[in-house]
Amino acid sequence: MAYLAIARKWRPHSFEDLVGQGHVVQTLTNAIRLNRVSHAYLFSGARGIGKTSVARIFAKALRCPNAKDAVPCNTCNECVAISESRSVDVVEIDGASNNGVEAVRGIRDNVAYGAASGNYKIYIIDEVHMLSLSAFNALLKTLEEPPAHVIFLLATTEVQKIPLTVLGRCQRFEFRRLTSQQIIDRIQQILKTEGISISEEGLRLIASHSDGSLRDALSLLDQVLSYFGGNSKKSDKDTLIFNDTQVVEALGISQTNVVSDYWKFIVHKDIKKLLALISEAYLSGVDLKHFAERCLEELRLLYLIQAAKESREDLTAEALDISSIHFKELSALSEKTSLIQLERMAQILSKTISQISWSSLPRFVLEVASVRMTKLDELDQFQQSSSHGGDKRPIMTDDGSATETEPSVLEKKEIKVVPKLEVIPSSQVEPEPHGERAENGGEPWKAFVEFVMKKRPLLGALLNHASFALEDINNGKNVTLGFGEGSFYEKQASDPKNIQDITAFLKTYFGPQSVLKLSNSETNAKQSLEKGRQAEEATLRKSALEHPAVSQAREIFGAEVVDVRVEI
Ligand SMILES: [Zn+2]
C-alpha cells in the first residue's frame, strides 16, 4: 500500500515546507544570516508540530556546504545524511530511551573533538525532559562551557520538567499548535499531489481530531486511506474520493457532534435528552472531566458568537477555526440565549470540572450542573422574588451551606453531592511579591508576562496567548511573537498602540536595546483594526474571566463577574 507512510513521506525538509511556526523560522534563519548562532536551543511545544523537523532543517542549514541565505540544498551528501538521521556530525539522541547519565557522559567525552567535516557538530536531544537528574547535571557541565563548534538542539513536550539551570542556558522557542485551517490546507496540498480527494467536512473531522498536531492529522489520514485500501485506484490518473461518512467510518468516530448536542439540549431546556446524552457518554466510557472540558470549549465559541452578535460585529467561521456548518448551528443557538446566561453557564461548568475530579459520583455532579444550566431563568425568578421578600442572599452562591434561606430543590441536590469548597486563606493564594525584574528562576519570558500582567492585565493576557522566540542581544533581547494566524490575538497584537506598549515594557524589563518583532505582522497590520473590535474585546473579556486571579476570587468568594472593562 503506497499510502501508508504519508506522515513520513511528507516530513518537511526545508523551512518553507514547515507549517505555522513562522516566528521560529524567522529567528533561526536570521541567526544564521547574521552569524549569531547560539550554542543551545530549546524547542518546546505539543507533539507532532515540527520541533524535530526544525532541528534537522536547522542542522542542515548550518552544515550544508551549498546553503544559500540559510536555505540548505537538500541534495548534497550531508543534507541527505541528516534527513536520513545518519550524519556522523549530527547526533540524534532520544531522551526517552537514553535517560541514563552514561549517554550524556558520552556526549561530554565526544564534544571535545571537532566535527568530522564542516564547522559544526550538532546534538539533537529529543524528549530532553526524560533525562535523569544526574544526566541533566552532566549536560549542564557541557552547556556551561560549550566548545565553539558544538550546538545543542533540545526538544521537549514538557518544558516544566526541565531544570531551570538548563533552561537558563538555552535560547527558547515555543512552538504553536496548528489551527484546523492550517492542517486542512496542508492535507489538501498533499492530497492533490497524491491524487486523492476528501470532502471538506471529512477534512474538518480529521483536523478537529488531531488536536493541533500535523503529525497526528497525517496519521489519521493514513488510517482513512488504508481502511479503504489505497490501491483501489485503477490508474494514476484516477482520483480517489472519500466522503464524510467514509471518514467517520474509517476513524471510528461519531459524526454527530455530541458536544454541540449537549448545548442544544441545555439551551432548549430538553432535560430528558440532556440526561440521556450524559448517560450515553458515561456508559461508553468517556472520561467525564474531558467531556466537560470539551463542552466548555464549545461554550467559549457560543459565547464569542453571542458577544459579536450583541455588539453587531462580524465574526466568521474562519476566525473561530470551525466549519461553516458548525458556525451556523452555534449562531442558531445563540438566538435562544444571552451573554449573561452564557457567562453563568461558564461559571457553573468551570466549577463542575474541578468538582468532577474529586467527586465519587462524577456523573451525578455533571447531571446536576447540566440540569441547573437549563433552569437559569427559574433561578433568576426565584432570586428576584426572594430579594423582594427581603432576602439578602448573594446571587448564585457557590457555598450552599452558607445560605440563610431554604435552598431550592436543585441546590439541595448539589449540596448533597458536592463537598464544601475549602476556602484558601488569601495569603496562600497571592503570589510572593517580587521586584520589578524578578527573573522567576531562569524563565525570563514567563517572568516578563507576569511583570506586564501586574501593570496591564489585559496586555499580559494577550502576551499569554503568544508563542515566542527569545534571542539575546547586547543589553536586551530580540523577541519574536507568534499568534494563531488571523486570530483575534494576532489582530490585537498588531495594533500600533499595543506594539508601542509591549515594546516599552520590553525595554524596561530586558534592557534598552530590546526589539519586538511580530511574525507575519505586515499582512495583519493592513487588516482593519476597528472591524471586529468588539469581538476582540469579547476575547479579552474571556481572557480576563479566565485569569487565575479572577477565577480564584470567584472560587473563594463565590462571586459573579458583573462587568469586565476592556481598556486596551
Ligand atoms: Zn546540502
Going by pLDDT thresholds of 50, 70 and 90, the confidence category of residue 220 is: confident
Distance 59 CA to ligand 1 centre (A): 10
Last residue of a domain, one of 417, 445, 466: 417
Domain co-membership, 359 together with 435: no
Q: How many CB atoms lie within 10 A of CB 196?
A: 22
Distance 82 CA to ligand 1 centre (A): 9
Domain co-membership, 38 together with 138: yes
Distance 66 CA to ligand 1 centre (A): 5
Distance 85 CA to ligand 1 centre (A): 14
Domain of 140: which CATH number? 3.40.50.300
Contact (CB, 8 A) for 507 and 543: no
Residue 15 lies in a domain: no
Residue 545 neighbours by CB under 8 Å, 6+ apart: 343, 346, 551, 561, 564
Centroid of chain to Cα 302: 19
Domain that holds residue 434: 429-546
Distance 38 CA to ligand 1 centre (A): 21
Look at 254 and 106; give whichever has higher pLDDT: 106
Domain co-membership, 211 together with 105: no
Centroid of chain to Cα 553: 25
For Cα atoms 276, 279, 283, give the angle at the middle one, nearest 5 degrees: 140
Distance 160 CA to ligand 1 centre (A): 35
Domain co-membership, 369 together with 330: yes
Domain of 231: which CATH number? 1.10.8.60
DSSP H or E segment with residue 66: none
Distance 28 CA to ligand 1 centre (A): 17
Last residue of a domain, one of 119, 153, 174: 174
Domain of 336: which CATH number? 1.20.272.10
Please give the tally of structural domains in the chain. Answer: 4
Distance 62 CA to ligand 1 centre (A): 10
Distance 219 CA to ligand 1 centre (A): 29
Residue 456 lies in a domain: yes
Distance 335 CA to ligand 1 centre (A): 58
Residue 6 lies in a domain: no
Contact (CB, 8 A) for 257 and 244: no
Distance 64 CA to ligand 1 centre (A): 4
Last residue of a domain, one of 385, 417, 449: 417
Distance 115 CA to ligand 1 centre (A): 16
Residue 240 lies in a domain: yes
What is the Cα–Cα distance from 564 to 537, expressed in whole angstroms? 10
Distance 128 CA to ligand 1 centre (A): 27
Domain co-membership, 147 together with 205: no
Distance 31 CA to ligand 1 centre (A): 18
Distance 65 CA to ligand 1 centre (A): 6
Residue 10 lies in a domain: no
Residue 566 lies in a domain: no
Distance 48 CA to ligand 1 centre (A): 25
Percent of residues, the chain, with pLDDT higher than 70: 76
Look at 105 and 217; give whichever has higher pLDDT: 217
Q: What are the residues facing 123 on neighbouring strands?
A: 91, 152
Distance 436 CA to ligand 1 centre (A): 47
487 pLDDT above the threshold of 60 = yes
Distance 176 CA to ligand 1 centre (A): 28
What is the Cα–Cα distance from 291 to 306, expressed in whole angstroms? 22
Look at 550 and 131; give whichever has higher pLDDT: 131
Q: Which of 62-71, 159-168, 466-475 has the lowest mean pLDDT?
A: 466-475
Distance 299 CA to ligand 1 centre (A): 49
Distance 142 CA to ligand 1 centre (A): 28
Domain co-membership, 322 together with 404: yes
Distance 49 CA to ligand 1 centre (A): 24
Domain co-membership, 247 together with 263: no
Residue 560 lies in a domain: no
Q: What is the pLDDT of residues 362-388, one digit of tens each?
A: 999 999 999 999 998 887 777 677 666
Domain co-membership, 122 together with 84: yes
Count CA atoms within 13 Å of residue 223 on its CB side. Answer: 19
**According to the model, what pLDDT value does residue 408 have?**
42
196 to 142, 188, 203, 205, 361: CA distances (angstroms): 49, 9, 12, 17, 47
Q: What is the pLDDT of residues 274-322, one digit of tens each?
A: 999 999 888 877 778 888 988 998 899 999 999 888 888 888 887 787 7
Residue 497 lies in a domain: yes
Q: How many CB atoms lie within 10 A of CB 528?
A: 8
What is the Cα–Cα distance from 353 to 357, expressed in whole angstroms? 7
143 pLDDT above the threshold of 50 = yes
Domain co-membership, 524 together with 436: yes
Going by pLDDT thresholds of 50, 70 and 90, the confidence category of residue 184 is: very high
Domain co-membership, 131 together with 219: no
Which residue, among 443, 463, 440, has the nearest Cα to 162 in the 3D structure?
A: 443
Domain co-membership, 408 together with 444: no
For Cα atoms 505, 509, 512, give the angle at the middle one, nearest 5 degrees: 85
Domain co-membership, 286 together with 308: yes
Distance 53 CA to ligand 1 centre (A): 16
Residue 543 neighbours by CB under 8 Å, 6+ apart: 458, 461, 462, 464, 465
Length of the chain: 568
